[in-house]
Chains A and B, each alone.
Chain A
Amino acid sequence: MTLPAKAFQRWLQGIAPDASTADVCRISGIKRTTLAQQLVRGKVAVSTVVSISRAYNINPVEALATFEPYRSLANPLPSPTRDELVSQISTADLLRAVLARPAMDPAAGGETPPALSPAPHATSVKNWVDAIDDGEVRHRVSAATGIAPQNYSAQLTANRLSPELAVATSHAAGVGPTGGLVATGLITEEEAGWPPGARQGALDSLSDGDLTALAGDRLQALGKVLRRQEQDQAQTEKIWENLG
């Protein structure tokens, strides 16, 4: 959901009282026409607030918390769960971690894999929801926000989730409200207050069995997606072969 232009202007007054719209755009790297359009329509994108707060060295989470729909971000934020942290590790990084475990390859020689690539990754949204899902979360989100389950699933599959759905999903699962914002790439781990190395720590705390099973799940899901893409591609090529 977007933020009301009035509330946005009030907030902007608070952080940059003397700056013109042009100044704000120049500093934050937002296109002037984009912001102007959002203001005219009375609907300011959440990402606009994030970009501006970064430009003024304000934590975007604190900035968002001043807006009514995101009040919950102001409460002292609970730490992310281990599953949430692990869900934000890319499949490639997980596989490297598996290969580095002696249980997997006794000859590996304890070489430490390279540092984890920063969140988000290619399937981070779906992995995050899967990590916090007790089996009923999707249901509760759709009941709370009114989004149709198939539209919600479609967003997850496309690795997208609107900020208000991300927060609603956190609430429905009873975890900290910032996890989904990290998973969608709206804010960084640091901005969400995740301690540095938290994901690496969570990864290291997984037992060999858990890690291997998790990597297996990820590979299976990836295989399905890739196979479907290949089928779609083959079908398209066949159509072009005959009708192109």
Chain B
Amino acid sequence: MIEILQWSTLAICGLVAAARVPSAIRGENRSLFYIFGLLTVAILLSIEAPYVAIDQALGGINLANLLLRFIIFAAIYFVGIRVSRGFGAEGAIRLITGKPGMAVLLVVSLLLVVLFFMMDTAGSSAGLLATSGKSERNFVLVEYYGAAGRAYPAYVSLVLLPAMLRTVTHRLPLLVRAGAGLLALGAVAVALTLLFPVVPPEWGSIKFVINYTAVLCYVIGLALIWAARVRSGKRISTKRTYTAK
């Protein structure tokens, strides 16, 4: 079951990213291509077989897991910028790109790196399951490391949530509202990951469902908004780059 979810999520992300290549070449909102591309790589790294293969190439000390965390941070950061600008959420832009957002990102990143190198991480293991089982100390460190990894995406998602809920109720094209609804659902799913430490072990698979639901909601939600623009026949100016406001 979980495997089907993982591989189909990978397929969807990969397809959307590939479909975005032509417009990325034309220079239309390249950061959307980066978002889809980063999420595809993140999904790839979250699946056991590719994870082990890539991690072996990186030295087999689970550096791939640390890489995965930062790929997710980058993706959610781009999502945060694009979505808050698109939806006109001025407060959210400040909370993500302003001092508070940068402070959260810096603190979480530092924590993540420090915790990672405090662990005994030898031996590739997706989700650091084997690492966690090595010792009591490692178990606790992996828990904190995981919590730090979930903190930043949850922070950005919660910041974005109000703007998206507002948009769903606005009178905008149906596809745009559906997209905003999916983004809101994705944001809720990401926020729910904060509760993972209290999920009883026998419900472990719910964590997978929430994680992949979040990614799917974000990817499909963004794709729907893109589809709405394509359907409207509007072209967007290509002079702007993703750094231009």
Whether A associates with B in a native complex is: yes
Give the interface of A toward B (CB within 8 A).
228, 232, 235-244
A236 neighbours in B (Cβ, 8 Å): 172-173, 176
Which chain A residues border B172 with CB–CB below 8 Å?
232, 235-236, 239
> How close is A181's CB to chain B, nearest CB, in angstroms?
28
Is B232 a contact of A240 with CB atoms below 8 Å? yes
B208 lies within 8 A of chain A by Cβ: no
Q: How far, in whole Å, are A240 and B225 apart by their CA atoms in the complex?
A: 7
Interface SS, A side: helix
Q: Which residues on the A side are within 8 Å of B236 (C-beta)?
A: 240-241, 244
Chain B interface residues (CB < 8 Å from chain A): 28-29, 32, 82-83, 85-88, 167, 170-173, 176, 222, 225-226, 228-230, 232, 234, 236-237, 240
Known pairs A239-B87, A240-B225, A241-B237 / 20 extra A-B pairs, C-beta < 8 Å: A228-B171, A232-B170, A235-B88, A235-B172, A236-B173, A236-B176, A237-B234, A238-B85, A238-B86, A240-B228, A240-B229, A240-B236, A242-B85, A243-B82, A243-B83, A243-B222, A243-B226, A243-B229, A244-B226, A244-B234
B181 CB to nearest chain A CB (Å): 13
| Across-interface contacts of B83 in A (CB, < 8 A) | 242-243
Q: Which of B87, B171, B229 sits near A244, CB closer than 8 Å?
A: B229
28 residue pairs of the A-B complex, CB under 8 angstroms, read A228-B171, A232-B170, A235-B88, A235-B170, A235-B172, A236-B176, A237-B234, A238-B86, A238-B88, A239-B86, A239-B87, A239-B176, A239-B225, A240-B86, A240-B225, A240-B229, A240-B232, A240-B236, A241-B86, A241-B240, A242-B82, A242-B85, A242-B86, A243-B82, A243-B83, A243-B229, A244-B29, A244-B234
Residues of A within 8 A of B87 (CB): 238-239
The interface residues of chain A lying within 8 Å CB-to-CB of B176 are 236, 239
Q: Can you name the residue of chain B whose Cβ is closest to the Cβ of A241?
A: B236
Check B29 against A242 for contact (C-beta < 8 Å): yes
Q: How far is the CB of B115 from chain A (nearest CB, A)?
A: 34
User: Nearest chain B CB to A232's CB is how many angstroms away?
Assistant: 5
Chain B: which residue is nearest A232 at the CB level?
Answer: B171
A244 and B88 contact, Cβ closer than 8 Å, known pairs A232-B170, A236-B173: no
Q: How far is the CA of A176 from the CA of B117 in the complex (A)?
A: 83
A241, B28: Cα distance in complex, Å: 9
> In the assembled complex, how far is the CB of residue B208 from the closest CB belonging to chain A, in whole angstroms?
28
Contact A244 B28 (CB under 8 A): yes
Residues in chain A near residue B167, CB distance under 8 A: 239
* Distance of A232 Cα from B225 Cα, bound (Å): 15
Shortest B172–chain A CB gap in Å is 5
Q: 8 closest pairs, A vs B, by CB?
A: A244-B229, A242-B86, A240-B229, A239-B86, A243-B86, A242-B85, A243-B225, A242-B82
List, in ascending order, chain B residues with CB within 8 A of A228's CB. Answer: 171
B225 engages A244 (CB within 8 Å):
yes
B222 CB contacts on chain A under 8 angstroms: 243
Taking CB atoms, residues of chain B closer than 8 Å to A235 are 88, 170, 172
User: Whole-angstrom distance between the alpha carbons of A235 and B166 in the complex?
Assistant: 12
| Distance to closest chain B CB from A227 (angstroms) | 13
Point out the residues of chain A lying under 8 angstroms from B240, CB to CB. Answer: 241
* A residues less than 8 Å from B29 (CB atoms): 242-244
Nearest residue in A to B88 (C-beta to C-beta)? A238
Give the one of A228, A235, A239, A243 with max B CB within 10 A.
A243
The residue on A at minimum CB distance from B222 is A243
For residue A240, which residues in chain B have a CB less than 8 angstroms away from its CB?
86, 225, 228-229, 232, 234, 236
